[in-house]
Structure 1
């Protein structure tokens, strides 16, 4: 198997792990049981209109977290779909974010918010840009993908270990 093909397969596996964790975090709020979820059907169509309020103060960290959690999506799509256009990869990111927001509403498992859609998409967009910039620096997709795959797998292992610790040990 060629090195490029091997790296693409590793990237695809990492993308599958990432999407699974993304669904678990966004839809299931990191719960192992549907009974742990609160039934909430909420829809906000005013962009940045209702930020989270904690102890009477506006908390914008959720907005930033939405962008950060989707940043790897752009990186991974660039690795898995190297020949796809920038706009088609961005379309996949926006569609995935929209799908998750709609599913939250349909399943009544969270707040469906246009701000989340915007920031998730912005995070994925940033991931696409970061990949393109890193490609200019590394001048080799193969080396860049190898580095990002390594970082991705270490991050995935640490995250899964942390989750096991939180749910089974702590």
Structure 2
């Protein structure tokens, strides 16, 4: 009886931690993606795949290359957690379905950024975000294979650590 109460309390704590961290991630992601850009920034649309990526990577300007690296890695990194959370939220659909969901969410974000004038709409961002989501979904699948029924608990414990680490790296790269 006492062990059942302890187990129920532990499960409730895991649920609170899991959903709390997930909500914090989505709130931070929202503010990161929809923060108002600096004065003088411009609105643009890029519908040519890899146009921005190649322009950044093959630039002769070191400042552009440094920005490119932070932009490329940042767009990938911020969507890895979404790839981990999605299979838990939509009940373990295939890697393909989860990755398509990430791509659709990213495309909607890009359109909204343009509509609300808080950024440029760039197909390259959708590609990079989708790669991040695919990495996250793949990490989830590996955890699921290794940990079986303990996957959600592992995500609950590892997500805060990974999230803090990811946002710290993004902060340091973008200083």
Where do residues 42-53 of structure 1 align in structure 2 (5 Å cutoff)?
Answer: 42-51=44-53, 52=56
Name the structure 1 match of 2:5.
none
TM-fit CA distance, 1:111: 2.1
C-alpha separation between the residues in 1 aligned to 2:130 and 2:166?
23
The TM-score normalised by the length of structure 2 is 0.70
Kept in 2, the 8 Å contact 1:73–1:93? The answer is yes
**Aligned-pair distance for 1:70?**
0.6
Match of 1:166 in 2: none
5+ residue gaps in structure 2?
1-7, 169-175
Provide the residue aligned with 2:121 in structure 1.
112
Give 5+ residue unaligned stretches, structure 1.
29-33, 163-170
Deviation per CA, 1:28-59: give whole Å up to 9, x if none.
Answer: 1xxxxx5x743531111122212447881452
Aligned equivalents of 1:80, 1:5: Cα separation in 2: 17
Q: How many residues align?
A: 154
Higher fraction of strand: 1
Q: Which has the larger radius of gyration?
A: 2
Which structure dedicates a bigger proportion of its chain to helix?
2
For the pair 1:15 / 2:17, whether they are aligned, the reply is: no
| Cα 1:87/1:155, change in 2 over 3 Å | closer
Cα pair 1:11 1:80 within 8 Å, conserved? no
Q: TM-score, normalised by structure 1?
A: 0.72
